[in-house]
């Protein structure tokens, strides 16, 4: 039969130590919430603008105190940038671009050049 005596030795016990956290943690949410408004402004895509705005709001509302301390830019700044991207994408509705001067015929020249010049 097994004995009920504790066979563990106290001098052989190794205390647990948490492993160190990696110092190069890349913040993917910060990169996405910064990049998407720029993509919306470059492409003038309203859908990307709205997605970036909603994503920035979610990132701001889900921000932890640790992210607040270690973040390079504050989360409200990304919300502001995504809101500005929305303004840029909707700007042609409120401020239409100026019309092209001279009409449609002015873009073509009156001199026609042959596609394949002959050796005259």
In a domain, 78, yes or no: yes
- Please give the chain's pLDDT, 120 residues, in tens: 566 777 788 888 888 999 887 765 567 777 888 899 999 999 999 999 999 999 999 989 988 888 888 877 888 899 999 999 999 999 988 888 888 886 555 555 566 666 666 666
| Location of structure tokens 């873009």 | 107
Q: Could you give the number of structural domains in the chain?
A: 1
Q: How far is Cα 50 from Cα 47, in angstroms, rounded to an integer?
A: 5
In a domain, 32, yes or no: yes
What residues make up the domain containing 65? 27-94
Prediction pTM value: 0.60
Task: Taking each helix axis as running N to C, give the angle between helix 28-43 and helix 75-94, from 0 to 180 degrees, rounded to the nearest 10.
Answer: 10
In a domain, 62, yes or no: yes
In a domain, 114, yes or no: no
The answer to whether 53 touches 83, Cβ cutoff 8 Å, is yes
Q: How far is Cα 88 from Cα 43, in angstroms, rounded to an integer?
A: 10
What tokens does 87 get? 């303004």
């Amino acid at each position: 039969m097994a004995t009920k005596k504790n066979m563990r030795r106290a001098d052989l016990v190794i205390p647990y130590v948490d492993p160190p956290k990696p110092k190069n943690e890349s913040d993917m949410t910060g990169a996405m919430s910064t990049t998407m408004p720029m993509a919306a402004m470059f492409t003038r895509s309203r859908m990307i603008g709205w997605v970036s705005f909603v994503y920035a709001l979610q990132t701001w509302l889900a921000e932890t105190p640790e992210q607040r301390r270690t973040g390079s830019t504050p989360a409200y700044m990304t919300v502001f940038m995504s809101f500005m991207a929305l303004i840029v994408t909707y700007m042609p509705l409120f401020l239409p671009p100026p019309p092209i001067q001279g009409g449609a015929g002015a873009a073509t020249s009156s001199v026609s050049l042959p596609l394949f010049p002959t050796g005259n």
